[in-house]
Chains A and B, each alone.
Chain A
Amino acid sequence: MVMSLISPNFLTLQNFSTVFKNLASIALLAIGLTFVFLGGGFDLSQGATLILSATLIVSINPSGTLFFVGTLLLIFGVAFAIGAFNGYLIGVHRLNSFIVTLGSRSIVGGFVFIHAAGMVVSAARQGPILEFIGLDRIFGVPVITIIWVVVAAVSWYIIKYTPYARKIAVVGSSVRVARFSGLRVEWLQMSTYVINALLAGFAGILIGCQTSHMAPALVWHYDFDAITACAVGGISLSGGRGTILNTLSGVLFLGFINNSMILIGVPYRWQLILKGLILLLAIIADMQTKKSYA
């Protein structure tokens, strides 16, 4: 409401459609993180995974259908490897999730720079499939929007109705309790990192299709938005609590904040400060509600 008074562009259909489309990457990242948070973990490496997969799809720029499927398999394979690496060390060997993913973020980021040789990668002529995913619309709705909404719906179903998600939540709230009730803590926690990395890879594919070029220096750009979206939406950062609807409300909130700050013309530095403050307030609020449970 406030935003629509300040900026006349805000309440147009065009703007809503753009906001929704641009939410794709942060939505997929935040959904992935929801699984990790639910299992009591943390992941700082997903931004790097996203950029790696975006760089891969842009630089390969597959043309035929078969070639495209092959590229997808390759990218998901790489993402799977990153997630399995994180998850194996954190889940099976019980290492600190912050430090492991901080390290793997550097390693994955390094791969991006090596692959791109430090330069901006771009596809000279975008292949038709990439163009279809990145730019086309079906019945007026951008393909990217359809894809991320479908992923969100599937994840919502998984987290709300499957026993798998309940098991993760038990692990996230107390590893001891989960052990005593016979859950395979190690593999459950590892699986959350794999899901997360696959979704980050997926987000990278969408971004790559949309922009058709990728600067490796953007590696650090995606790190915090997804964490902030989860925290704002009410996903407990200490594990065990949260739904996809929480995540999506956080994503929408952050998306509209981002969009309106750009429309009003808030400088980038103030956007950073504001988003940092939002994150800080959200985690303090998370801690206060946790205290009131206890």
Chain B
Amino acid sequence: MRDKSVQRTLERTYDFRIPILIVLLTIVFSVISSDFLSLRTVNTLFLLLPANGVVAIGVTMVMIIGELDLSVGGVLALSGLMMVKLLPIGAVQAVLISLAAGAFIGLVNGLVIHKLKVNSLITTIAVGFILSGVSLLFSEGTVFYEQKALTDFGNKSLWIFPYTTLLYFGLTLLVQYLLKRSTFGVRLYAVGGNRLSSSYSGINVTRMGILLFVLSGLFASLGGVLMAARLSTASPLRGSETAIVVITAVLLGGTTLGGGYGDVVKSLLGILLLSLLTKGLTQLEVPAYFQGMIVGVILIFLLYVGSKLAERDRS
């Protein structure tokens, strides 16, 4: 009897592990570094979220159907560059064309993966490889721009909430609503849970898969635009760590690789936790390559824990 209630408490705690970890990390960093806990820190932390965050929205949806998109880094770099290069024709047009380019790359991914039935990982690796070459066609190095409206949007805040973060939170809520409350969402989880039976029950799995990769490309290019807006620069080298960081954050949030489970609010918490960790480590002056290693360790650890939990559920 008592064992059961202990177990239930533990399970409840596990469900809330990310918020608990966020609070714990905040406490640890505040103790180590006295000026950590301030509204300014919260504001700069929020400023770091949106670029990887919106990429994570698309990646989460792709992961729910049990696939992965490793080309997001390439899309992010390319669309940032495209937008900066196209600014002379007008900011709105430049943004729209960059987003369209992202969606188009997603379409190519989707067609190859779902029409030609090629493994999503290898396809998106190859596409990412091509994109890094295409990015270098636009520029060989960092490009700067001056466009006040755009950099304002990328950096200004409403109290502690940057505009871009508000946009990110809004998009997360919108997609969360679609996932949980619309036919699209129901179908998405069905395809992720069992592809064959959902295709027998009349869901067009191919079209669904292609659509998801288009969305993933679209969100990745939005990430590139937001990042370029914040930094007022773009660089062909920018996306090299995006895929690994975003996938780690999504797994951290609790979405699984097997498909059929997860949502974008979970991913938001994962992104928040990972950014908090990065921000804290930076404030403690831990070099960047250590941070990359830490992300790698967390990623493998999560994968390990996830597979053990899945094993336990099965038995």
B96 adjacent to chain A (CB < 8 Å) = no
Given A110-B290, A280-B123, verify A93-B307 contact (CB < 8 Å).
yes
Question: Are the CB atoms of A113 and B289 closer together than 8 Å?
Answer: yes
Measured between beta carbons, the chain B residues less than 8 angstroms from A279 are: 125-126, 129
Task: Find B289's partner among A109, A271, A272 (CB 8 Å cutoff).
Answer: A109
Chain A residues with a Cβ under 8 A of chain B: 42, 89, 93-96, 98-100, 102-107, 109-111, 113-114, 118, 220, 224, 227, 231, 237-238, 268-277, 279-280, 283-284, 287-288, 291
Q: Do the beta carbons of B296 and A106 come within 8 Å of each other?
A: yes
- A42-B124 Cα distance, complex, nearest whole Å: 14
Given A107-B296, A113-B289, A276-B122 contact (CB < 8 Å): no
One digit per residue, 1 when the CB lies within 8 angstroms of any chain A CB and 0 when it does not, for chain B 132-148 equals: 11101100100000000
Pair A280/B127 contact, Cβ less than 8 Å: yes
Residues of B contacting A269 in the complex (Cβ-Cβ under 8 angstroms): 133-134, 136-137, 140
Cβ-defined partner of A275 (8 Å) among B123, B129, B140, B297: B129
B130 to A273, Cβ gap below 8 A?
Answer: yes
- Report how far A118 CA is from B296 CA in the complex, Å: 18
The 8 Å CB contact of A104, one of B70, B127, B243, B300, is B300
**Can you name 8 extra interface pairs (CB under 8 A) apart from A94-B307, A107-B297?**
A98-B70, A102-B243, A106-B296, A107-B296, A272-B130, A273-B130, A276-B133, A284-B118
Contacts of B287 in A (CB 8 A): 113, 118
Cβ of B295 under 8 Å from chain A: yes
What are the nearest 9 A-B pairs in CB distance? A272-B133, A106-B296, A110-B293, A276-B130, A269-B136, A273-B133, A113-B289, A276-B129, A103-B299
B134: chain A residues within 8 A (beta carbon): 269, 273
- Selected from A94, A220, A224, A291, the residue in CB contact (under 8 A) with B240 is A220
Candidates A93, A95, A224; contact of B125 at CB < 8 Å: A224
The answer to whether the Cβ of B51 comes within 8 Å of any Cβ in the partner chain is no
Q: B303 interface residue, CB < 8 Å from A?
A: yes
Which of A99, A104, A271 contacts B133 (CB under 8 A)?
Answer: A271
Cβ–Cβ contact B304 & A89, under 8 A: yes
Is the Cβ of A287 less than 8 Å from the Cβ of B125? no
Give the chain A neighbours of B247 by CB distance below 8 A: 99, 102
Q: Tell me the B220-277 residues at the A interface (CB within 8 Å).
A: 240, 243-244, 247, 257
CB-CB under 8 A for A100 and B300, given A94-B307, A269-B136: yes
Residue of A nearest to B301 (CB): A103
Q: Is B283 an interface residue (CB 8 A)?
A: no
Q: Which of B116, B140, B293 contacts A111 (CB 8 A)?
A: B293
Among A96, A275, A280, A287, residue most surrounded by chain B Cβ atoms (within 10 Å): A280
Query: Do A238 and B119 touch across chains, with their CB atoms under 8 A apart?
Result: yes
User: Is the Cβ of B129 less than 8 Å from the Cβ of A283?
Assistant: no
Interface assignment of B112: CB less than 8 Å from any CB of chain A: yes
- Pair B129/A224 contact, Cβ less than 8 Å: yes
A104/B296 in contact, CB under 8 A: yes
Q: With A103-B244, A107-B293 in contact, is A96–B303 under 8 Å at CB?
A: yes
At the interface, yes or no: B312 with Cβ under 8 Å from chain A?
no
User: Do A283 and B300 have beta carbons less than 8 Å apart?
Assistant: no
**A287 contacts B289, CB within 8 Å?**
no
CA gap between A224 and B289 in the complex, in Å: 22
**What count of chain B residues pass the 8 Å CB interface test?**
41
Please give, as numbers and ranges, the residues of chain A lying within 8 Å of B133 by CB-CB distance. Answer: 269-274, 276
Shortest CB-to-CB span from A102 to chain B, Å, is: 6
* A103 B303 Cβ-Cβ under 8 A: yes
Q: Determine whether the beta carbon of B126 is less than 8 Å from that of A276.
A: yes
Q: Which residues of B contact A106 (CB under 8 A)?
A: 244, 292-293, 295-296, 299
Complex CA–CA separation, A245 to B296 (angstroms): 35
Determine the distance from Cα of A96 to Cα of B307 in the docked complex, in whole angstroms.
Answer: 9
Q: Which residue of A104, A113, A271, A283 contacts B123 across the interface (Cβ within 8 Å)?
A: A283
Q: Chain B residues near A272: list those with CB within 8 A.
A: 129-130, 132-133, 136
Residues of B within 8 A of A238 (CB): 119
Contact of A98 among B68, B140, B289, B292 (CB under 8 A): B68
Give the complex CA separation of A272 and B127 in angstroms. 11
List, in ascending order, chain B residues with CB within 8 A of A113's CB.
287, 289
Q: Does B121 sit within 8 A of A, measured CB to CB?
A: yes
CB pair A110–B257 under 8 Å, yes or no, is: no
* A-B contact list, 26 entries, CB within 8 Å: A42-B121, A89-B304, A100-B303, A102-B296, A103-B295, A103-B296, A103-B300, A103-B303, A106-B244, A106-B296, A107-B297, A107-B300, A110-B290, A110-B292, A113-B289, A220-B240, A237-B119, A269-B137, A272-B132, A273-B133, A275-B129, A276-B126, A277-B130, A283-B126, A287-B119, A288-B116
Q: Which one, B68, B119, B243, B300, contacts A89 given CB within 8 A? A: B300
| Cβ-defined contact, B296 with A105, below 8 A | yes
- What residues of chain A lie closer than 8 Å to B307, measured between beta carbons? 93-95
- Residue in B116, B131, B137, B304 whose beta carbon sits within 8 Å of that of A93 in the complex: B304
CB distance from A26 to the nearest CB of B (A): 15
Give the residues in chain B near A98, CB-CB below 8 Å: 68, 70, 121
Whether the Cβ atoms of A99 and B257 lie closer than 8 Å is yes
Q: Report B279-315 CB contacts with A as 1/0, cut-off 8 Å.
A: 0000000010110110111011001100100000000
Known: A237-B122, A268-B136, A284-B116. A99 touches B303 (CB 8 A): yes
A280 with B126: CB separation less than 8 A? yes
Residues of A close to B293: CB separation below 8 A = 106-107, 109-111
Residues of chain B within 8 A of A270, CB atoms compared:
133, 137
- On chain B, the residues within 8 Å of A42 by CB distance are 121-122
